[in-house]
Amino acid sequence: MTGPLVGIDWLEERLGAPGLVVFDASVGAHRGADHRIPGARPFDLDGALSDHDAAAPHTMPSAAAFTEAMRELGVDDTATVVVYDGVGIYSSARAWWMLRAMGFDRAAVLDGGLPAWTAAGLPVEATGPAYEGPRGSFTARPRPGSLVDGATVEAALTDPAVAVLDARTRERFAGTAPEPRPGLRGGHMPGAVNLPFGDLQDPAGRMRPAAELRDAFAAAAGARERLVLSCGSGVTACVLALGADLAGYGDLAVYDGSWSEWGVPSALPVVTGP
């Protein structure tokens, strides 16, 4: 594996190889689809792979809970992991970033996801029961700073060396469209810059070439090389993390609570407009 993104040809050639684990990290309406890439296991962000005791959805579980979940899914420390989702590149990037935040670098996102796989006429199978194979040996080794809290983001907003980028749509960022989660304020953090995650993808749902990604991040972040990434609930911020990684950025953090935390009525500042 040469980077955080692999194509369908790469996966087709290796599907079923020893040590390769394929995860379906679909959420929402795509979760539990009736078909999957053969042998794919569920990386359930709406279920066990989020901390449901936290106030914000899709919060990262503890290192111990993540270790146990990966072992139950048969992941070894020496495994190679490919993650996809049913949209293209949406929630798969969140699974990739979680693995990376827990010290696991042998993971990649499938470019174009399940839509690209099926459009190419590649085989699928009926989605079966939950994974029932042998336990793995995975051990989480958390990387401090990969996932950050609201206090860290608040400080970053006034740090001239840091760019806080928001992956939500332009309308949600401006506060002209309602938030999908009830009770949240509209708008954005003062000093944040909008970079909708869809801008990093082509019409087929694949990531744009590295040169185009570099241009997009340079336009949003200027000369700043540390990026803090936010979105609605910490999912599509990870698409920005994937794009930034492909563009050559190395100093990255994802705001785990994202707007689901910041947008709750509180003393945290919110502004509207572009």
Active site residues: 231
| Residues 59, 45: Cα–Cα separation, whole Å | 9
| Residues 272, 173: Cα–Cα separation, whole Å | 7
Look up residue 48 and give its two tokens.
Answer: 């066990």
Q: Please provide the distance, in angstroms rounded to a whole number, between the alpha carbons at the two ends of the chain.
A: 39
DSSP conformational letter for 174: H
CA dihedral 245, 59, 234, 239 (to 10 degrees): 40
Contact assessment for residue 57 and residue 50, using Cβ atoms and an 8 Å cutoff: yes
Closest-CA residue to 108 (of 119, 121, 120, 99): 99
- Residue owning tokens 């790469």: 10
Angle at 274 between CA 193 and CA 146, to 5 degrees: 20
Contact assessment for residue 255 and residue 192, using Cβ atoms and an 8 Å cutoff: no
